[in-house]
Amino acid sequence: MNASSLIKLLSNETNLEILSVLRSGSFNPRELARILGRDETDLSRRLRAMERAGLVEGRWVRIREKNVKVYSLKVDGIEIRFEPGEVLISTSKGDRYEVPLLESRLPPIDVFVGREKEIGLISSSDKSVIVIYGIAGIGKTTLAAKLFSDAFWYQMSEGDSLDYFAWQVGLFLNTLGYNALLEYLRAGSREERDIFELVLEGIEKSSAKIVIDDLHKCRDERILHLLAFLSERLGKGKLVITSREKPNLGIENVLYLHLAGLSPEDAYSLIKAKGIDVSSKEFAEIYHITLGHPLALTLFSEAYGANKEFTRESFFDFILSEVYGKLNEDERSLLQLMSLFDEPLEYEEIRALHGKNVFSTLYSLLNKGLIERRGDYYFLHDLIRGFLSEVREVDEVKVYSKYVEFLLGRNNARDFLKAFRYAVKLKDGETIKRLVELRLRKFKRVIQDFPDAYLNILSIIKDNPYAKEELGNIYFQKGFFEKALKLWLEVKDELGGIHKADVLSSLVDVYIELNRLDESEKYLEELEKMKESMNDEEVELWYFVELTKLNFYLGKPEEALKSALNELKVVRKLGRYPEFESLVLLHVGDIYVELERYRESLTYYSQALELARAYSLSFMEHLTLFELSKAYYLLGDYKKAVEHAVRGGDYFLRVRNYRRAVDALAYRCFSYIALGELERAQNDAREMIRIAQSTGYPLGWAGYIALAAIENLRGGNFKEYLNIGREKLKEYPRLYGAVLKELGRVFEVSKILPQEG
């Protein structure tokens, strides 16, 4: 193996991220692309390269007629160790390299002067949260980077939302060996409280350090709530925040540091380091005007020429126009272009937008202090951006349109969201319509993975009919059915084509949720007509999905089965959605359960499981394990039921999906009763009750009924348990009935029930 190509592969941050994710298991490139927010094709290429280098191992899994590639780490043969936070490479000669993960996102520092007092204060502080605040350009970021070069760097921008933020932190914590947060998010759960607790737990357990730069840009209140939550509780971990305004994060555990200008001595060293020699009289004047503001001093060094007169009021603009005047054409146009963006741009993006050879221009601007860098990202300091917005001549529309197309070419959910944000800035109805269609066809997961980020963007254009369509989809996903319904009814006659079909199928769905099946039927008929006229497989699929669901709710399982098998046919023809395919397989299994044809349901559940595993869909995998456990229970194979429920139940507890965890626990508990393992049954019953107490999920109260059965079998006093269980389930007569029915399969319930009449 060629060591230098190995090192080259390893010195690429994306590759390292891939490897660190693979550390937690085998992955299909598609799911890996989702986790990392990358294009699947690009990821596959990287994986193949790393496979050639012997770092990873791909193997083909055969699923029906198709081959699916699954990658895992292959570290045994070569001496590479993925340690928390770094990768260690040791060669046979005993050389040792350490590659810290995510380091390059730090702002690079070449010159650093002064700040001894502040450094002393921060280093000697035992507070877990450090807030550095002060005006723009005063040196907050530089100070944080100097002190916390081993921290995870999060650059806040205006479009950020809690779900996006949490995903990035989850990814980072995963590199430190804490995967619960990422796993939780991948499972599709988005409870604010859970996210808060998991972030806290992850930071504490791994003693992580996180810098949040430019907090004042944050528009999502929930991120601020999260930080306040962390501030009160952090002990081992560290949070460093820079902001222009002083955030309120409590007082107990927070060191607030207001940053002022550099001292005269340090200011002098700074301009000296920039290669400028001034007389002491001249320096006194400059210091008097700048008050040691480091960005002003840096720019001054660029603008410097003999005999310039400065006044304090217009100092900044004056200096900037001096510096600007000295730039060449190419530098100016690049600077203008970049001033259109209020978030960092990647080198590749800048190159795509600027067109020309951008490398040397970018570096010359960087050296002049006009541009800042974080790893592979570049941006203008806010003060400079403000100045440039006044002298700007570039065509905003042209640049943004080009950017939108560039981002879409990258073909991943996160860049899709970014593209959407710029399409909104363009206020271009046609582009928005096109993007929504793309979301419906290609980026289906955006609604689950980044609902809030998407919601924030859409809210800006909330009167646009396509935005209403999508807002409805997000509200529906979040369980706000009435709100979704209202929006869809408003726009249903305004839209055509795939958009109309989407709204119609959504209407069928929401009316089912609201138990207004007549309305559902009406819209399903309309959808059927569209399906026939459109000849679009996507729409055909939606139609069958809704038909299945409606038939199921109407109590027509035979009809539902027919249409579910049609779903399966279409989804396989479309061929792109393993996740959806496994869901359909699961539904087919459920319908067979309803028909009491348990053997057939096992067949379909097993196929769903196979598919979910091949594509690393962990949520689906465990959902299927649970369904399998139920089917085995119904078949009377309690050993197998327990086995499957254990794996499903543990996962759901881990990702805090308590509703599903209780479902699994209930079947496991009843299976233990059937097997006569009363001790274990009792533990599960207690766990169910505990969950009911903390979440209010009613099935958990069935734990009391189970305890009554267990006590009865032991010959003890069961009455009190039964009474509590009945009392708690009083408001849920159907659930109570279902519990007795299921328990009745393994225990003679008449032994504990009070005699009627």
Q: How many residues does this entry show for the chain? A: 757
Lay out the site mask for ligand ADP across 223-252 (x = CB under 6 A, - = otherwise).
-------------------x----------
**Shortest reach from residue 241's CB to ligand ADP, in Å:** 12
Cα(705)–Cα(751) distance, integer angstroms: 12
Alpha carbons 699 and 736: distance in angstroms, whole number: 8
Going from the C-alpha of 375 to that of each of 173, 310, 476, 624, the distances in angstroms are 19, 35, 39, 42
Binding mask 344-383 for ligand ADP (x = CB under 6 A): -------------------------x--------------
How far apart are the C-alpha atoms of 272 and 285, rounded to whole Å? 16
Write down the least CB distance from residue 23 to ligand ADP, Å: 34
**Separation CA 232–CA 239 (nearest Å):** 11
Among 34-42, 112-120, 511-519, 735-743, the segment contacting ligand ADP (CB under 6 A): 112-120
Of the pair 156, 568, the CB lying nearest ligand ADP is at 156
Task: Compare residues 137 and 159 and give the one whose CB is closer to ligand ADP.
Answer: 137
Measured at CB, which residue is nearest to ligand ADP?
139
Question: Looking at 38, 115, 410, 644, which residue binds ligand ADP (CB under 6 A)?
Answer: 115
- Contact range with ligand ADP by CB under 6 A, out of 88-96, 111-119, 220-228, 469-477: 111-119
User: Residue 267 CB, nearest distance to ligand ADP (Å)?
Assistant: 9
Nearer to ligand ADP, 270 or 423 (CB): 270
Specify whether the CB–CB gap between 67 and 613 falls below 8 A: no
Pairing between β-strand 209-213 and β-strand 152-155 as defined by DSSP bridges: parallel
The least distance separating ligand ADP from the CB of residue 135, rounded to whole angstroms, comes to: 7
Q: Which of residues 133-152 bind ligand ADP (CB under 6 A)?
A: 134, 136-142
CA 11 to CA 8: how far, in whole Å? 5
Q: In the complex, what is the shortest distance from the CB of residue 255 to ligand ADP, in angstroms, rounded to a whole number?
A: 17
Secondary structure, 3-state, 509-534: HHHHHCCCHHHHHHHHHHHHHHHHHH
Q: How far apart are CA 725 and CA 450, in angstroms?
A: 39
Distances (CA, A) of 277 to 281, 369, 671, 694: 12, 18, 84, 68
d(Cα 405, Cα 416) in Å, to the nearest integer? 10
d(CA 645, CA 625): 7
Phi-psi region of 141 (alpha: psi -120 to 50; beta: other; left: phi over 0): alpha
The mark string for 311-350 relative to ligand ADP (x by CB under 6 A, - otherwise) is ----------------------------------------
The partner residues of 209 in beta bridges, in order of sequence, read 238
Q: How many residues bind ligand ADP (CB under 6 A)?
A: 19
**Binding mask of the shown chain, residues 265 to 284, with x at each position contacting ligand ADP by CB under 6 A:** -----x--------------
Rounded to 5°, angle at Cα 459 from 456 and 465: 135
Question: Which of 128, 189, 243, 298: binder of ligand ADP (CB under 6 A)?
Answer: 298
Is 261 a binding residue for ligand ADP by CB under 6 A? The answer is no
How do 86-90 and 56-63 pair as beta strands?
A: unpaired
Q: Using CB under 6 A, pick the residue from 226, 295, 570, 665 that binds ligand ADP.
A: 295
Min separation Cβ 353 and ligand ADP, Å: 23
Place of tokens 């935005």: 467
Grouping H, G, I as helix, E, B as strand and the rest as coil, residue 99 is strand
Q: How far is the CB of 361 from ligand ADP (least distance, A)?
A: 18
294 contributes a contact to ligand ADP by CB under 6 A: yes
Q: In terms of CB distance, is 44 or 141 closer to ligand ADP? A: 141
214 versus 579: smaller Cβ distance to ligand ADP: 214
Q: Are the C-beta atoms of 313 and 124 separated by less than 8 Å?
A: no
In the bound state with ligand ADP, the residue whose beta carbon lies nearer, of 294 and 725, is 294
Which positions lie near ligand ADP, rule CB under 6 A? Answer: 111-115, 134, 136-142, 242, 270, 294-295, 298, 369
